[in-house]
Protein backbone atom coordinates (compact mmCIF):
# COMPACT_ATOMS: atom_id res chain seq x y z
CA UNK A 1 0.00 0.00 0.00
CA UNK A 2 1.34 3.44 -0.92
CA UNK A 3 2.59 5.40 2.07
CA UNK A 4 0.80 8.61 2.99
CA UNK A 5 2.64 11.54 1.44
CA UNK A 6 1.15 14.21 3.71
CA UNK A 7 0.70 14.17 7.49
CA UNK A 8 -2.94 13.52 8.33
CA UNK A 9 -4.71 13.82 11.68
CA UNK A 10 -8.04 13.01 13.28
CA UNK A 11 -9.62 14.99 16.09
CA UNK A 12 -12.97 16.01 17.57
CA UNK A 13 -14.69 12.62 17.51
CA UNK A 14 -18.31 12.35 18.58
CA UNK A 15 -20.79 9.48 18.93
CA UNK A 16 -24.53 9.75 19.35
CA UNK A 17 -26.21 7.12 21.49
CA UNK A 18 -26.39 3.76 19.73
CA UNK A 19 -30.13 3.32 20.02
CA UNK A 20 -32.00 0.04 19.92
CA UNK A 21 -33.16 -2.83 22.10
CA UNK A 22 -31.23 -2.78 25.36
CA UNK A 23 -31.34 1.00 25.80
CA UNK A 24 -33.86 2.08 28.44
CA UNK A 25 -35.11 4.94 26.27
CA UNK A 26 -35.83 2.69 23.30
CA UNK A 27 -39.42 1.64 22.59
CA UNK A 28 -40.29 0.20 19.17
CA UNK A 29 -43.78 1.75 19.21
CA UNK A 30 -42.75 5.25 20.26
CA UNK A 31 -41.39 7.97 17.93
CA UNK A 32 -37.61 7.99 17.64
CA UNK A 33 -35.01 10.27 16.04
CA UNK A 34 -34.77 10.12 12.27
CA UNK A 35 -31.77 9.87 9.98
CA UNK A 36 -31.41 13.64 9.65
CA UNK A 37 -31.42 14.05 13.45
CA UNK A 38 -28.43 11.77 13.85
CA UNK A 39 -26.50 13.41 11.01
CA UNK A 40 -27.08 16.86 12.52
CA UNK A 41 -26.22 15.86 16.10
CA UNK A 42 -22.94 14.17 15.23
CA UNK A 43 -21.98 16.84 12.70
CA UNK A 44 -22.76 19.83 14.88
CA UNK A 45 -20.94 18.46 17.92
CA UNK A 46 -17.81 17.85 15.87
CA UNK A 47 -18.01 21.30 14.26
CA UNK A 48 -18.08 22.86 17.73
CA UNK A 49 -14.71 21.26 18.48
CA UNK A 50 -12.99 22.50 15.30
CA UNK A 51 -14.14 26.12 15.31
CA UNK A 52 -17.27 25.86 13.18
CA UNK A 53 -18.40 25.01 9.66
CA UNK A 54 -16.40 27.84 8.10
CA UNK A 55 -13.25 25.79 8.71
CA UNK A 56 -14.51 22.77 6.76
CA UNK A 57 -13.55 22.22 3.12
CA UNK A 58 -15.51 19.04 2.45
CA UNK A 59 -18.02 16.66 4.06
CA UNK A 60 -18.13 12.90 3.56
CA UNK A 61 -21.09 10.83 4.76
CA UNK A 62 -20.80 7.06 5.02
CA UNK A 63 -24.07 5.15 4.84
CA UNK A 64 -25.09 1.70 3.70
CA UNK A 65 -28.84 1.41 3.25
CA UNK A 66 -30.82 4.59 3.94
CA UNK A 67 -32.66 3.96 0.68
CA UNK A 68 -33.92 0.66 2.09
CA UNK A 69 -34.40 1.47 5.77
CA UNK A 70 -35.55 5.09 5.42
CA UNK A 71 -36.50 5.51 1.75
CA UNK A 72 -33.88 8.25 1.59
CA UNK A 73 -31.01 8.73 -0.84
CA UNK A 74 -28.77 11.70 -1.74
CA UNK A 75 -27.39 11.93 1.80
CA UNK A 76 -24.63 14.32 0.75
CA UNK A 77 -27.31 17.01 0.52
CA UNK A 78 -27.80 16.75 4.29
CA UNK A 79 -24.43 18.44 4.84
CA UNK A 80 -25.91 21.98 4.68
CA UNK A 81 -28.68 20.75 7.02
CA UNK A 82 -26.00 20.25 9.67
CA UNK A 83 -24.92 23.86 9.44
CA UNK A 84 -25.64 26.61 6.94
CA UNK A 85 -21.89 27.21 6.78
CA UNK A 86 -21.57 23.98 4.78
CA UNK A 87 -23.87 25.30 2.08
CA UNK A 88 -22.33 25.16 -1.41
CA UNK A 89 -19.28 23.27 -0.13
CA UNK A 90 -18.38 19.85 -1.60
CA UNK A 91 -20.02 16.81 -0.04
CA UNK A 92 -20.20 13.16 -1.03
CA UNK A 93 -21.91 10.03 0.25
CA UNK A 94 -19.95 6.75 0.07
CA UNK A 95 -21.12 3.15 0.45
CA UNK A 96 -19.30 -0.11 1.07
CA UNK A 97 -21.90 -2.14 2.98
CA UNK A 98 -20.89 -2.37 6.66
CA UNK A 99 -17.52 -0.78 5.85
CA UNK A 100 -19.21 2.43 4.68
CA UNK A 101 -17.97 4.33 7.74
CA UNK A 102 -14.32 3.50 7.12
CA UNK A 103 -14.86 4.17 3.42
CA UNK A 104 -15.88 7.69 4.46
CA UNK A 105 -12.68 8.01 6.48
CA UNK A 106 -10.60 6.71 3.57
CA UNK A 107 -12.27 9.21 1.23
CA UNK A 108 -11.47 12.06 3.59
CA UNK A 109 -7.89 10.89 4.04
CA UNK A 110 -7.46 10.77 0.25
CA UNK A 111 -8.75 14.33 -0.07
CA UNK A 112 -6.13 15.46 2.43
CA UNK A 113 -3.46 13.51 0.56
CA UNK A 114 -4.56 14.99 -2.77
CA UNK A 115 -4.38 18.48 -1.27
CA UNK A 116 -7.92 19.22 -2.36
CA UNK A 117 -8.91 19.72 1.30
CA UNK A 118 -7.27 20.58 4.60
CA UNK A 119 -10.30 19.94 6.82
CA UNK A 120 -12.79 17.16 6.13
CA UNK A 121 -15.87 16.41 8.23
CA UNK A 122 -16.45 12.64 8.13
CA UNK A 123 -19.78 11.23 9.32
CA UNK A 124 -21.15 7.70 9.43
CA UNK A 125 -24.86 7.09 9.98
CA UNK A 126 -27.53 4.40 9.90
CA UNK A 127 -31.11 4.14 11.19
CA UNK A 128 -32.25 0.51 11.09
CA UNK A 129 -35.03 0.13 13.64
CA UNK A 130 -37.48 1.46 11.07
CA UNK A 131 -38.52 -2.06 10.02
CA UNK A 132 -39.04 -5.44 11.70
CA UNK A 133 -35.96 -7.61 12.18
CA UNK A 134 -36.82 -10.06 9.40
CA UNK A 135 -37.27 -7.25 6.87
CA UNK A 136 -34.11 -5.58 8.14
CA UNK A 137 -32.15 -8.78 7.60
CA UNK A 138 -33.33 -8.81 4.00
CA UNK A 139 -32.27 -5.19 3.47
CA UNK A 140 -28.84 -5.87 4.97
CA UNK A 141 -28.49 -8.92 2.73
CA UNK A 142 -27.80 -6.50 -0.13
CA UNK A 143 -24.21 -6.56 1.14
CA UNK A 144 -24.05 -10.03 -0.40
CA UNK A 145 -24.39 -11.18 -4.00
CA UNK A 146 -27.99 -10.86 -5.21
CA UNK A 147 -27.92 -14.20 -7.04
CA UNK A 148 -26.80 -15.99 -3.90
CA UNK A 149 -29.39 -14.26 -1.72
CA UNK A 150 -32.18 -15.91 -3.69
CA UNK A 151 -31.32 -19.24 -2.09
CA UNK A 152 -29.80 -18.00 1.16
CA UNK A 153 -31.00 -18.29 4.73
CA UNK A 154 -33.92 -16.10 5.80
CA UNK A 155 -31.44 -14.32 8.10
CA UNK A 156 -28.82 -14.04 5.37
CA UNK A 157 -25.71 -12.79 7.15
CA UNK A 158 -26.33 -14.61 10.45
CA UNK A 159 -26.61 -17.66 8.22
CA UNK A 160 -23.32 -16.86 6.49
CA UNK A 161 -21.41 -16.47 9.74
CA UNK A 162 -23.20 -19.44 11.25
CA UNK A 163 -21.66 -21.44 8.42
CA UNK A 164 -18.27 -20.01 9.36
CA UNK A 165 -18.82 -20.84 13.04
CA UNK A 166 -19.86 -24.39 12.15
CA UNK A 167 -16.82 -24.93 9.95
CA UNK A 168 -14.52 -23.51 12.63
CA UNK A 169 -16.03 -25.72 15.35
CA UNK A 170 -15.79 -28.83 13.19
CA UNK A 171 -12.14 -28.12 12.39
CA UNK A 172 -10.87 -26.95 15.77
CA UNK A 173 -13.34 -28.21 18.39
CA UNK A 174 -16.90 -27.24 19.18
CA UNK A 175 -16.57 -26.87 22.97
CA UNK A 176 -13.60 -24.51 22.85
CA UNK A 177 -15.18 -22.49 20.03
CA UNK A 178 -18.40 -22.03 22.00
CA UNK A 179 -16.50 -21.02 25.14
CA UNK A 180 -14.42 -18.50 23.20
CA UNK A 181 -17.46 -16.91 21.58
CA UNK A 182 -19.10 -16.71 25.01
CA UNK A 183 -15.98 -15.04 26.38
CA UNK A 184 -16.02 -12.59 23.48
CA UNK A 185 -19.64 -11.71 24.31
CA UNK A 186 -18.77 -11.29 27.98
CA UNK A 187 -15.89 -8.92 27.21
CA UNK A 188 -18.09 -6.91 24.82
CA UNK A 189 -20.84 -6.29 27.34
CA UNK A 190 -18.44 -5.55 30.19
CA UNK A 191 -16.78 -2.90 28.00
CA UNK A 192 -20.12 -1.48 26.84
CA UNK A 193 -21.18 -0.96 30.46
CA UNK A 194 -18.37 1.60 30.74
CA UNK A 195 -19.53 3.67 27.74
CA UNK A 196 -22.67 5.83 28.19
CA UNK A 197 -23.45 5.88 24.45
CA UNK A 198 -23.28 2.09 24.07
CA UNK A 199 -26.43 0.14 23.25
CA UNK A 200 -25.65 -2.38 26.02
CA UNK A 201 -24.73 0.30 28.57
CA UNK A 202 -27.79 -0.58 30.64
CA UNK A 203 -27.19 -4.35 30.53
CA UNK A 204 -27.36 -5.77 34.08
CA UNK A 205 -27.04 -9.49 33.32
CA UNK A 206 -25.03 -11.13 36.11
CA UNK A 207 -23.46 -14.14 34.40
CA UNK A 208 -22.60 -12.96 30.92
CA UNK A 209 -20.47 -15.99 30.12
CA UNK A 210 -23.35 -18.34 30.90
CA UNK A 211 -25.64 -16.33 28.62
CA UNK A 212 -23.01 -16.46 25.91
CA UNK A 213 -22.92 -20.25 26.24
CA UNK A 214 -26.59 -20.49 25.21
CA UNK A 215 -26.92 -23.36 22.76
CA UNK A 216 -27.87 -22.26 19.25
CA UNK A 217 -31.43 -23.15 18.21
CA UNK A 218 -31.59 -23.76 14.44
CA UNK A 219 -35.40 -24.02 14.55
CA UNK A 220 -35.70 -20.47 15.80
CA UNK A 221 -32.60 -18.85 14.30
CA UNK A 222 -29.49 -20.37 12.67
CA UNK A 223 -27.48 -23.55 13.17
CA UNK A 224 -24.34 -22.42 14.96
CA UNK A 225 -24.96 -18.95 16.42
CA UNK A 226 -27.24 -17.77 19.21
CA UNK A 227 -28.70 -14.26 19.31
CA UNK A 228 -25.99 -13.13 21.75
CA UNK A 229 -23.37 -13.93 19.12
CA UNK A 230 -24.82 -11.22 16.88
CA UNK A 231 -24.19 -7.49 16.60
CA UNK A 232 -27.03 -5.13 17.41
CA UNK A 233 -29.74 -3.60 15.26
CA UNK A 234 -28.85 0.01 15.93
CA UNK A 235 -29.63 3.62 15.10
CA UNK A 236 -26.83 6.14 15.44
CA UNK A 237 -24.12 8.31 13.98
CA UNK A 238 -20.47 9.05 14.59
CA UNK A 239 -18.36 11.92 13.31
CA UNK A 240 -14.71 12.96 13.34
CA UNK A 241 -12.62 15.63 11.65
CA UNK A 242 -9.72 14.73 9.33
CA UNK A 243 -7.11 17.46 8.98
CA UNK A 244 -3.76 18.30 7.44
CA UNK A 245 -1.17 20.29 9.39
CA UNK A 246 -2.52 23.39 7.67
CA UNK A 247 -5.99 22.37 8.81
CA UNK A 248 -4.84 22.11 12.41
CA UNK A 249 -3.51 25.66 12.24
CA UNK A 250 -6.73 26.92 10.65
CA UNK A 251 -8.84 25.33 13.41
CA UNK A 252 -6.45 26.29 16.22
CA UNK A 253 -6.09 22.69 17.37
CA UNK A 254 -3.14 21.39 19.37
CA UNK A 255 -1.57 18.17 18.16
CA UNK A 256 -1.84 16.78 21.72
CA UNK A 257 -5.57 16.45 21.10
CA UNK A 258 -5.08 14.52 17.85
CA UNK A 259 -4.17 11.13 16.55
CA UNK A 260 -2.00 10.88 13.48
CA UNK A 261 -3.10 8.55 10.69
CA UNK A 262 0.03 6.60 9.82
CA UNK A 263 -1.41 4.34 7.15
CA UNK A 264 -4.45 2.61 5.76
CA UNK A 265 -4.89 -0.69 4.01
CA UNK A 266 -7.81 -1.37 1.70
CA UNK A 267 -8.70 -4.71 0.13
CA UNK A 268 -11.59 -5.98 -1.96
CA UNK A 269 -12.70 -9.54 -2.75
CA UNK A 270 -15.02 -10.85 -5.47
CA UNK A 271 -18.59 -10.66 -4.15
CA UNK A 272 -19.70 -13.44 -6.50
CA UNK A 273 -17.31 -16.03 -5.05
CA UNK A 274 -17.68 -17.94 -1.76
CA UNK A 275 -14.78 -17.87 0.72
CA UNK A 276 -11.98 -20.27 -0.17
CA UNK A 277 -11.81 -21.28 3.51
CA UNK A 278 -14.74 -20.58 5.82
CA UNK A 279 -12.41 -20.60 8.83
CA UNK A 280 -10.30 -17.66 7.59
CA UNK A 281 -10.90 -13.94 6.96
CA UNK A 282 -8.40 -13.70 4.13
CA UNK A 283 -9.42 -10.23 2.91
CA UNK A 284 -9.11 -8.91 6.46
CA UNK A 285 -5.59 -10.33 6.57
CA UNK A 286 -4.71 -8.59 3.30
CA UNK A 287 -5.99 -5.20 4.49
CA UNK A 288 -4.22 -5.42 7.87
CA UNK A 289 -0.95 -6.50 6.27
CA UNK A 290 -1.10 -3.50 3.93
CA UNK A 291 -1.78 -1.11 6.81
CA UNK A 292 1.00 -2.49 9.02
CA UNK A 293 3.52 -2.60 6.17
CA UNK A 294 2.75 0.97 5.16
CA UNK A 295 3.14 2.12 8.77
CA UNK A 296 6.44 0.21 9.10
CA UNK A 297 5.35 -1.53 12.28
CA UNK A 298 4.52 -5.09 13.31
CA UNK A 299 1.54 -6.40 15.25
CA UNK A 300 3.53 -6.47 18.51
CA UNK A 301 3.45 -2.65 18.56
CA UNK A 302 -0.36 -2.50 18.51
CA UNK A 303 -1.76 -1.39 21.85
CA UNK A 304 -5.48 -1.64 21.11
CA UNK A 305 -7.71 -2.86 18.29
CA UNK A 306 -11.22 -2.01 17.14
CA UNK A 307 -12.28 -4.95 14.99
CA UNK A 308 -15.47 -5.74 13.10
CA UNK A 309 -17.16 -8.28 15.39
CA UNK A 310 -20.44 -8.39 13.50
CA UNK A 311 -20.62 -11.86 15.06
CA UNK A 312 -18.51 -13.29 17.88
CA UNK A 313 -16.87 -15.79 15.53
CA UNK A 314 -15.76 -12.86 13.34
CA UNK A 315 -13.93 -11.42 16.35
CA UNK A 316 -12.05 -14.65 16.95
CA UNK A 317 -11.18 -14.95 13.27
CA UNK A 318 -9.99 -11.31 13.27
CA UNK A 319 -7.54 -12.15 16.06
CA UNK A 320 -6.08 -14.80 13.76
CA UNK A 321 -6.26 -12.60 10.65
CA UNK A 322 -4.12 -9.94 12.35
CA UNK A 323 -1.66 -12.64 13.42
CA UNK A 324 -2.00 -12.47 17.19
CA UNK A 325 -2.78 -16.19 17.14
CA UNK A 326 -2.23 -18.98 14.65
CA UNK A 327 -5.01 -20.52 12.59
CA UNK A 328 -7.29 -22.29 15.04
CA UNK A 329 -5.66 -20.76 18.13
CA UNK A 330 -7.72 -17.58 18.32
CA UNK A 331 -9.98 -19.35 20.79
CA UNK A 332 -7.06 -19.91 23.19
CA UNK A 333 -5.92 -16.30 22.78
CA UNK A 334 -9.38 -15.04 23.75
CA UNK A 335 -9.97 -17.53 26.57
CA UNK A 336 -6.61 -16.62 28.11
CA UNK A 337 -7.90 -13.04 28.46
CA UNK A 338 -5.59 -11.39 25.95
CA UNK A 339 -8.37 -9.43 24.22
CA UNK A 340 -10.00 -8.20 27.45
CA UNK A 341 -9.52 -4.59 28.52
CA UNK A 342 -6.67 -5.66 30.86
CA UNK A 343 -5.19 -8.15 28.38
CA UNK A 344 -2.09 -7.97 26.22
CA UNK A 345 -4.02 -6.26 23.39
CA UNK A 346 -7.47 -4.92 24.41
CA UNK A 347 -10.09 -5.26 21.68
CA UNK A 348 -13.25 -3.18 21.24
CA UNK A 349 -12.90 -1.20 24.46
CA UNK A 350 -16.36 0.39 24.27
CA UNK A 351 -18.10 -2.86 23.34
CA UNK A 352 -17.57 -3.20 19.61
CA UNK A 353 -20.47 -4.16 17.36
CA UNK A 354 -21.71 -6.70 19.91
CA UNK A 355 -21.78 -4.26 22.83
CA UNK A 356 -21.67 -0.67 21.59
CA UNK A 357 -23.92 -1.43 18.62
CA UNK A 358 -23.76 -1.62 14.86
CA UNK A 359 -25.45 1.26 13.01
CA UNK A 360 -23.83 -0.13 9.89
CA UNK A 361 -22.79 3.03 8.07
CA UNK A 362 -21.47 4.55 11.30
CA UNK A 363 -19.39 1.64 12.59
CA UNK A 364 -16.09 2.48 10.89
CA UNK A 365 -16.25 6.07 12.13
CA UNK A 366 -17.18 4.91 15.63
CA UNK A 367 -14.09 2.71 15.64
CA UNK A 368 -11.92 5.71 14.76
CA UNK A 369 -13.56 7.81 17.48
CA UNK A 370 -12.85 5.08 20.05
CA UNK A 371 -9.18 4.86 19.05
CA UNK A 372 -8.89 8.65 19.15
CA UNK A 373 -10.38 8.69 22.64
CA UNK A 374 -8.11 5.91 23.90
CA UNK A 375 -4.86 7.26 22.47
CA UNK A 376 -5.52 10.80 23.73
CA UNK A 377 -6.83 9.77 27.16
CA UNK A 378 -10.39 10.95 26.52
CA UNK A 379 -12.22 7.63 26.95
CA UNK A 380 -13.58 8.31 30.44
CA UNK A 381 -14.56 5.19 32.36
CA UNK A 382 -13.69 3.08 29.33
CA UNK A 383 -10.07 4.29 29.31
CA UNK A 384 -7.38 1.61 29.11
CA UNK A 385 -3.67 1.93 29.71
CA UNK A 386 -1.71 2.63 26.53
CA UNK A 387 1.78 1.27 27.12
CA UNK A 388 4.78 3.19 25.71
CA UNK A 389 6.05 0.10 23.90
CA UNK A 390 2.63 -0.36 22.26
CA UNK A 391 1.54 3.15 21.22
CA UNK A 392 -0.44 2.26 18.09
CA UNK A 393 -4.14 1.70 17.51
CA UNK A 394 -5.65 -0.39 14.72
CA UNK A 395 -9.14 -0.42 13.23
CA UNK A 396 -10.67 -3.02 10.93
CA UNK A 397 -14.01 -2.31 9.25
CA UNK A 398 -15.52 -5.07 7.13
CA UNK A 399 -18.25 -4.93 4.50
CA UNK A 400 -20.18 -8.06 3.57
CA UNK A 401 -18.76 -11.52 4.20
CA UNK A 402 -15.10 -10.44 4.31
CA UNK A 403 -15.46 -8.64 0.96
CA UNK A 404 -14.77 -4.90 1.49
CA UNK A 405 -12.07 -4.08 4.03
CA UNK A 406 -10.49 -0.93 5.40
CA UNK A 407 -7.79 -1.09 8.08
CA UNK A 408 -6.18 2.04 9.58
CA UNK A 409 -3.16 2.51 11.88
CA UNK A 410 -3.16 5.42 14.34
CA UNK A 411 -0.73 6.95 16.85
CA UNK A 412 -1.09 9.86 19.25
CA UNK A 413 0.23 12.95 17.51
CA UNK A 414 3.30 14.68 18.90
- Give the CATH number, domain containing residue 126: 3.40.47.10
Residue 137 belongs to a domain:
no
State the pLDDT at residue 399.
98
* Beta strands in 16-118, from DSSP E residues, in sequence order: 58-62, 91-94
Q: In the chain, what percentage of residues exceed pLDDT 70? A: 100
Residues 293-307 have a mean pLDDT of: 98
pTM of the predicted structure, to 2 decimals: 0.98
Distance (Å) of CA 186 to CA 59, 133, 263, 312, 319: 37, 24, 31, 10, 16
**Tens digit of each residue's pLDDT (9 = 90 or more) over 269-299:** 999 999 999 999 999 999 999 999 999 999 9
Q: Which helix (H) or strand (E) holds 13?
A: strand 8-15
Q: Could you tell me if 247 and 372 lie in one domain?
A: no
On the question of pLDDT at 157 being above 60, the answer is yes
Domain that holds residue 83: 8-132+233-257
Residues 194-200 have a mean pLDDT of: 98
**Tens digit of each residue's pLDDT (9 = 90 or more) over 215-245:** 999 999 999 999 999 999 999 999 999 999 9
State the pLDDT at residue 65.
97
Q: Could you tell me if 89 and 16 lie in one domain?
A: yes
Distance, in Å, from the CA atom of 98 to the CA atom of 310, rounded to the nearest integer, reads 9
Q: Could you tell me if 253 and 268 lie in one domain?
A: no
On the question of pLDDT at 1 being above 60, the answer is no
Mean predicted lDDT score pLDDT of the chain: 97
Q: Could you tell me if 155 and 239 lie in one domain?
A: no
Q: Quick check: 199 and 254 in contact, CB under 8 A?
A: no
Task: For 112, list phi and psi in degrees, rounded to 5.
Answer: -65, -45
Q: Could you tell me if 156 and 61 lie in one domain?
A: no
Q: In the chain, what percentage of residues exceed pLDDT 90? A: 95
pLDDT confidence bin for 155, thresholds 50/70/90: confident
On the question of pLDDT at 254 being above 80, the answer is yes
Share of the chain residues as helix, strand and coil, in percent rounded to the nearest 5? 40, 20, 40
State the pLDDT at residue 153.
75
Q: Quick check: 46 and 121 in contact, CB under 8 A?
A: yes
On the question of pLDDT at 152 being above 80, the answer is no
Q: Quick check: 357 and 60 in contact, CB under 8 A?
A: no
Residue 94 belongs to a domain:
yes
Q: Could you tell me if 150 and 118 lie in one domain?
A: no
Residue 117 belongs to a domain:
yes
State the pLDDT at residue 281.
98
Number of domain units in the chain: 2
Distance, in Å, from the CA atom of 162 to the CA atom of 140, rounded to the nearest integer, reads 16
Amino acid sequence: MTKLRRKTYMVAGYNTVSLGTGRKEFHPKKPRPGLEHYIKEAGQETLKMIGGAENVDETVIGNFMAAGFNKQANLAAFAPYIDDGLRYKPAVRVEGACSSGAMALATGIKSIQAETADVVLAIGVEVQNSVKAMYGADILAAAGWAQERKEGHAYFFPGKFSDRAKAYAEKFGEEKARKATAKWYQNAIENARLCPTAQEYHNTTKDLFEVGMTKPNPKAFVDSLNVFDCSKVSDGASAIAILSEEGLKRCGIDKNDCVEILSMGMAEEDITKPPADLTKLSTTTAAVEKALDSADINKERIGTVECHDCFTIAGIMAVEAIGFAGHGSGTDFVLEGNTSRTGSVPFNTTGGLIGWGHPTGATGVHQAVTIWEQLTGKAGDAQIQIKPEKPYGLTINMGGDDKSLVSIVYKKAV
